[in-house]
Amino acid sequence: MKVHVKYDVNFICRTVLEEQLIKLNINYSLIGLGEVEIQGDLGLVEKNELSLALKKYGIQIIDDQKEELVQRIKDAITEMITGGKETRLYKVSAYLSEKLEYSYPYLSNLFSEATHSSIENFIIMKKIDLAKTLILNDQSSLTEIAHQLNYSSVAHLSYQFKKTTGLTPSAFQKIIRRRKEKNLGRNQ
């Protein structure tokens, strides 16, 4: 028997962080996506214990300042794309500059240097990943998905979707429907 599940990665990460910090008796505050403020000093032994505990879940502590800023850029973009209408109204450059308190050219150069890709490409990849998730959930039309992801039209979404995945969103939908029908047929 196959069971389909839906999950919230951010919620899971927050829960794991909280559980591990409590387990190690570390006083903390969760500030935002990927940020934990430790109350007081964290000794080397405690930091290593926390690092090992989190590593089991694919979470790692970032020590390098540039790497940390690149992760903050990724988190801010994710927040912008998945957030409400107010975050989608911003221009990316203005949003990142305001949120991270650095100039956009600096953030863009740092991101490109560290990831060998541009912020714009990362945004497209995140949007297409979210579009695939929304298509899989089968609760929104392509028009609604395009609007939710701040595309100017379904055609623009379709172009980027096909360029990224090799499939049009409609072809992707058909494949998903066929798989679901095939799986339903097996389970009956």
Residue 97 corresponds to which amino acid? S
pLDDT computed for residue 98 by the predictor? 92
Query: Mean pLDDT throughout 44-49?
Result: 86
| pLDDT value of position 154 | 92
Q: In this predicted structure, what is the pLDDT of residue 185?
A: 66
Q: What's the whole-number mean pLDDT along residues 6-20? A: 84
7 by DSSP, 3-state: which?
coil
Q: CA geometry: angle at 49 spanning 44 and 51, to 5°?
A: 90
Tell me, what's the pLDDT at 42?
80
- Sketch out the chain's domains with CATH numbers: 8-61 (no CATH), 123-187 (1.10.10.60)
HSE-up of residue 64 (Cα within 13 Å, Cβ side): 7
pTM above 0.95, yes or no: no
Mean of pLDDT values over 67-87: 85
Cα–Cα distance list, 108 to 88, 111, 114 (Å): 19, 5, 10
**pLDDT (average), residues 13-24:** 89
Average pLDDT over residues 48-63: 86
Phi then psi dihedrals of residue 32, to 5 deg: -160, -165
CB of 151 closer than 8 Å to CB of 157: yes
At residue 167, the pLDDT reads: 92
Q: What is the pLDDT of residues 128-137, one digit of tens each?
A: 999 999 888 8
pLDDT of 113 reads 93
